Amino acid sequence: MHLRSLLLLVVLIPLACAPQRRGGTPTLDEICDDGIDNDEDGTVDEGEDDDNDGFLDCGVEDLDCDDQDADVHPGAGETCDGIDNDCDGAIDEDFPDGCGDDDDATDDDDAVEEVIIVDMSPEPGADDHFLSADLFVVFNQAPDSVELSVAGVTGATETSSNGRVVTFDPSNPLEPNTEYLWTITWSPSIDSPIEIEFETGPHGDPVGDPDAIIGRAYQIDVANADFTEPAGVGAILGSQLDGMVFLMAATPESSGSDMHVILAQGEESAGNVSQLPCVTTTYATAGPDQVIGTADDAPGDFDNPDITVGPVDLAFDAAIQGIGIGTVNDVFMTSTFHPALDDLQGGIVEGTIDTRPLAPELDPDGDEDALCQLLEEVVGVGCIECGGENPGEFCLNVRAQNVTSEYVPGLTLVPRTCADIIEEFESSGDCDSEALDYDEDSDGEYELCPAWQP
């Protein structure tokens, strides 16, 4: 949802934060879980993904137990090779009868390992499958053939991960609160075919009182989103974003199908979520002037229960973790409200970020393509042409899906401009570091906040 613009903004933060560890002492290695900043980069127990398999070797729940082998990571198929391929602490557990021995005449060296399902969505008996979500199956190894079908539903089947992951994408969204029968057929297998009954949840039914959306604050679950672009950074992003709080709400200027949205940064303490008072907010739908009701407005479209924003260019005045984001271009966001307004599901956000403003944060003495170089080095993702008035291969496409947002009872988001931050500092002394960021030459004029009037 619009909150995804925040999500986008967030996406570069971890990419900028993770690389900073390389600015520490290069001769020292970080040691996991010792609570010490071993490599002196300002971050404790952070992880790396040296083999680019999307899993970190430190600081996350699903650890890569061999960061030098891309075929070894959590969820990988176990191979009979004396190695813990799936990082579950067991070796060759799928082969209780051993791996075969050429000296044993009873061994069948030509036997084919059975292809089994190791993960799927939805699972048997699921009663809350999101109506627009893909159905997928993960096998321990690529089957010779596979067919997925849902009774009464047309769709396309795609494979990925060298054939181990097979996805069924319905041609149209499923119906809410509806039972379905999913059939999975594959070979070689002694279990195929199998039939799975599941039910979609309530998302997709219309909201009873659309006016009740106005002012309701939602917390965006950024850390658990599925990042499909840039490829290979999902685990990194999730680990870096865990604990960061991003908020959104529809504003009173919303009317009918036109919806305006405010984005804010928050914090969570003892289970309570609040808005950070010293961080500016952003209107996702107000255009460059950030004033709702003027000619450059780009209101979101509310087609009950779905909401869509964009494509729009979003400029962020606030910094996240001390890093200024600047503008995210061609942002497109969509999500679906629960009929009781408890949450939003199925969120998708995509956009393009110019990495040049972030490069100095990564390497103050480096080139303006410093972040692009790091991305190429770490995950093999290259930047693309920015075009327009400021061309060059410095831009990065970002896409996240399956974003959820939970309602935060009792929270009302308050618009905060740079002038508000400065006023707070001048009157009370609070928000000092944030306010002084707008005073470029420390002369008390706050040149970087034209709206400030002493």
pLDDT for res 108: 46
Residue with tokens 């396309």: 156
Query: pLDDT tens-digit profile of 208-251?
Result: 999 999 999 999 987 788 877 776 665 565 666 666 788 999 99
Burial 409-420 (b: 16+ CB within 10 A, else e): eebebeebebbb
pLDDT in tens, 121-179: 899 999 999 988 889 998 988 999 999 999 999 999 998 878 888 999 999 989 999 99
Q: Which tokens in the block code for residue 27?
A: 């001769």
**Which domains does the chain show, CATH number per domain?**
3-15+207-413 (no CATH), 129-199 (2.60.40), 417-454 (no CATH)
- Whether the full predicted model's pTM is greater than 0.85, yes or no, is no
pLDDT tens by residue, 16-51: 322 232 334 444 555 665 556 555 655 666 667 676
How many Cα atoms sit within 13 Å of 360 on the Cβ side? Answer: 5
- What contacts 111, CB < 8 A, 6 or more positions away? 100
Q: Read off the pLDDT of residues 414-448 as tens digits, 9 standing for 90 and up.
A: 999 999 999 999 999 999 988 988 888 888 889 88
Nearest Cα to 261, choosing from 273, 278, 247? 247
- 3-state SS assignment for residue 5: helix
Long-range contacts, stretch 159-165, CB < 8 angstroms, 24+ apart:
163/139, 164/77, 164/138, 164/139, 164/140, 165/136, 165/137, 165/138, 165/139
Cα–Cα distance measured from residue 41 to residue 23, given in angstroms and rounded to the nearest whole number? 6
